[in-house]
């Protein structure tokens, strides 16, 4: 359980309340940018370390996507509260999460756990975790606003599109698993 990659994921989880405190309570935006950037970077690092040290674990396979989702949701809600992103963008991302919660509930009812993470979902997560600190930079540093806004929103919109594509893949995967299980029950 206490492997190096799992420890990295636990530290990432601790970054979520730290980010929220810095961003919403202290309004220490530069420090919040650093926490977001470190959180996004360590998303890649924990997987790389796990493969490199051969410390891939079931806990890590569950913890990493949980930390990703928590970072994305917490950042999104905080950004919406401070008007860094419009509520429509937040609703679009949250809608995908609701869809996946429904698919996960169906999978659990049929005896399955969450489906394995798809590379499209990993790419979407990477794009969103890269977009958030850049969007915050655009909102807090006027000199960087022009370039940071273009880059940040480019990454965010691509991330959103791929997030939904990955969500579609997960729903299709869930449907296939349920059909297989129903086919086994019919025998």
- Give rounded-to-5 percent helix, strand, coil for the chain: 85, 0, 15
Q: Which residues of 89-99 are buried (b: 16+ CB within 10 A; e: fewer)?
A: bbebbbebeee
In the prediction, which pLDDT does 114 show? Answer: 86
Could you give the CA distance from residue 139 to residue 36 in angstroms, rounded to a whole number? 14
Q: Taking the CB of residue 102, how many other CB atoms lie within 10 A of it?
A: 12
Give, for 111, the enclosing helix (H) or strand (E): none
In the prediction, which pLDDT does 98 show? Answer: 95
| Local confidence pLDDT in tens for the 187 residues of the chain | 789 999 999 999 999 999 999 999 999 999 999 999 999 888 888 889 989 999 988 888 888 888 988 999 999 999 999 999 999 999 999 999 999 999 999 999 999 988 888 899 999 999 999 999 999 999 999 999 999 999 999 999 999 999 999 999 999 999 999 998 887 766 6
Give me the residue label for tokens 């590379």. 119
In the prediction, which pLDDT does 152 show? Answer: 98
Cα–chain-centroid distance for residue 23?
18
In the prediction, which pLDDT does 35 show? Answer: 94
Alpha helices in 53-144 (DSSP H): 58-81, 87-109, 119-140
In the prediction, which pLDDT does 64 show? Answer: 87
Longest Cα–Cα distance in the chain: 67
3-state secondary structure of 56: coil
3-state secondary structure of 117: coil
Domain segments of the chain: what residues? 4-186
In CATH, what number does 4-186 get? 1.20.120.1760
């Amino acid at each position: 359980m206490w492997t190096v990659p799992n420890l990295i994921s636990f530290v990432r989880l601790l970054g979520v309340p730290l980010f929220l405190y810095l961003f919403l309570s202290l309004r220490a935006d530069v420090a919040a940018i650093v926490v977001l950037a470190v959180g996004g970077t360590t998303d890649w690092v924990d997987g790389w370390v796990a493969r490199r040290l051969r410390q891939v674990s079931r806990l890590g396979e569950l913890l990493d996507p949980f930390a990703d989702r928590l970072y994305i949701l917490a950042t999104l809600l905080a950004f919406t509260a401070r008007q860094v992103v419009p509520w429509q963008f937040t609703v679009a991302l949250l809608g995908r999460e609701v869809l996946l919660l429904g698919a996960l509930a169906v999978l659990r009812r049929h005896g399955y756990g969450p489906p394995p993470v798809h590379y499209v979902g990993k790419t979407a997560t990477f794009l969103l975790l890269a977009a958030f600190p850049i969007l915050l930079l655009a909102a807090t540093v006027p000199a960087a606003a022009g370039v940071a806004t273009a880059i940040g929103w480019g990454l965010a919109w691509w991330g959103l599109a791929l997030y939904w594509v990955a969500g579609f893949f997960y729903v299709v995967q869930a449907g296939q698993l349920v059909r297989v299980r129903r086919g086994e029950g019919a025998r």
